[in-house]
Amino acid sequence: MDCIFCKIISGEIRSSKVYEDEHILAFMDIQPVREGQTLVIPKRHIDHFSDIPDELATKVFLQSHRIAGSIRNRFQCERVGLVVHGYGVAHAHMVVVPQYDKDDIAFGQTAKIENGQVIFTGRDLRIVPHDELDETARVIREGLSA
């Protein structure tokens, strides 16, 4: 399978893990809108979020909720958004986004208007080095155990 998230789960591609159990994995987004942005995924490859079995979807949401609490406490952001947009990687995932501004959840930094059409692009977002992601993951993990 050529799924980048499946390669992260298998360890073929490095990630900065925030949380892992037998069913789900949470790790830092390498191209975040805001520091602390975390991806929470089922370990089983499922393309559409709506196809996740109820019990597994509950686990994904519950861990996203816990991570959101840690992010809010550790990064002192005004809000934490939970996003399932269904694009990007064809593997169901929830994005946990620290929000300091109302446009953070809209990923406003990655959209532009061209000829009256909204075009989404990640070109302007910095790819964060793994050492920085590892440190951010550590901070969030500490918040989970607090």
Element (H, E) at 48: none
Residue 63 DSSP label: H
The two tokens of residue 146 are: 């607090």
Distance CA 124, CA 12 (A): 27
| Residue 89 contacts residue 4 (beta carbons within 8 Å) | yes
Catalytic-labelled residue, pool 23, 85, 91, 93: 93
Cα 60 to chain centroid, rounded: 11
Contacts of 24 (CB under 8 A, 6+ apart): 40, 41, 42, 43, 56, 59, 60, 63
Q: Is 93 a catalytic residue?
A: yes
What amino acid positions are annotated as catalytic residues? 93
